[in-house]
Amino acid sequence: MAADIRIVPCLSDNFGYLVHDPATGATASIDAPEAAPLIAALDKEGWKLTDILVTHHHGDHVGGIAELKAKYQCRVVAPHDANAKIADVDLRVEEGDVVKVGGLSARVLETPGHTLDHISYVFDDDRALFAADTLFSIGCGRVFEGTYPMMWESLLKLRELPDDFKLYCGHEYTASNVKFALTIEPDNAALQARAKQVEQQRAAGQPTIPVTLGEEKQANVFLRADVPSVAAAVGLAGESAADVFGEIRERKNNS
């Protein structure tokens, strides 16, 4: 049976997500930015939280764990990197591990760069990627703990997933990402189309998520650092993709 996925806006611009298995009643929260909106969403659906799948240790992704765990006695699954200070962890996972949420399966991909512990969860049967702060729509996370080559490798790993997979990311940053991406690829038709769509979605008060990976591969400049025209656009024709990626990321930091 297919997973039921709900988007739960949290804090100022975080996305919380609930992934529910209708067959068993199991429900996972992907990260826990804050407890109250997640509890309200669970109550509305009549779901009980069984698992929290944590992507990385930042406060805006783990802040709701303690309260949710106290209320639901749910299992907390987190990255294996024990240096990352995440409280209340029941299970630590690493690359290739498969986490069961009732009858659903989530595959773990290590995607370091934003933080060293960052992991992403892939629900292959449901064609869903939860990439938190590694890959945003038309953007990517800031590289706080890792290096640009490390982050580029992580993005390549996500880019290998099939085009029909849907991206569920950690933040609603799409509009500002689009504005920046257009400074590098003003003539990218897929980006222009996404810009129009995002404008309509935001005007209607709708989230810009999910989006297909196929669309992201065409429109997200951070996934396109190995495209010659992108390298040329940032003055690095012929340089390595990791260097081009680093230049794009620096420009975004300073934009």
Of 81 and 133, nearer to Zn ion (C-beta) is 133
Active site residue 57: no
Query: Exposed/middle/buried for 48, CB within 10 Å: 0-12, 13-18, 19+?
Result: middle
Number of residues that bind Fe ion (CB under 5 A): 3
Active site residue 20: no
In the complex, minimum distance from the CB of residue 255 to Zn ion, in angstroms, rounded to a whole number: 19
**Beta strand pairing call for 91-93 and 4-10:** unpaired
Indicate whether 117 belongs to the interface with Fe ion (CB under 5 A).
no
In this structure, the number of other CB atoms found within 10 A of the CB of residue 229 comes to 12
69 binds, among Fe ion, Zn ion, none (CB under 5 to 8 A by kind): none
Of 47 and 173, nearer to Fe ion (C-beta) is 173
In the complex, minimum distance from the CB of residue 231 to Fe ion, in angstroms, rounded to a whole number: 29
Residue 107 host element (H or E): strand 104-110
Active site residue 60: yes
Of 133 and 172, nearer to Fe ion (C-beta) is 133
Active site residue 61: yes
- Rounded CA-CA distance 215/137 in Å is 9
Of 50 and 115, nearer to Zn ion (C-beta) is 115
On whether the CB atoms of residues 155 and 144 are closer than 8 A, the answer is no
Q: Which of 20, 57, 58, 118 is catalytic?
A: 58
Q: Is 20 helix (H, G, I), strand (E, B) or coil?
A: strand
In the complex, minimum distance from the CB of residue 151 to Zn ion, in angstroms, rounded to a whole number: 13
- Strands (E) across 33-74 are located at 51-53
Active site residue 114: yes
Q: Is 93 helix (H, G, I), strand (E, B) or coil?
A: strand
In this structure, the number of other CB atoms found within 10 A of the CB of residue 151 comes to 28
117, 133, 172, 216: which one binds Fe ion (CB under 5 A): 133
Which of these ranges, 91-99, 115-123, 133-141, 155-163, lies near Fe ion under the rule CB under 5 A? 133-141
Of 58 and 127, nearer to Zn ion (C-beta) is 58
Q: Which of 20, 57, 61, 118 is catalytic?
A: 61
On whether the CB atoms of residues 87 and 70 are closer than 8 A, the answer is no
Q: What is the CA radius of gyration of the chain?
A: 18
Q: How far apart are the first and last CA of the chain?
A: 44
21, 31, 51, 60: which one binds Fe ion (CB under 5 A): 60
> Footprint of Fe ion on this chain (CB under 5 A)?
60, 133, 170
Would you please indicate which residues are annotated as catalytic (active-site) residues?
56, 58, 60-61, 114, 133, 171
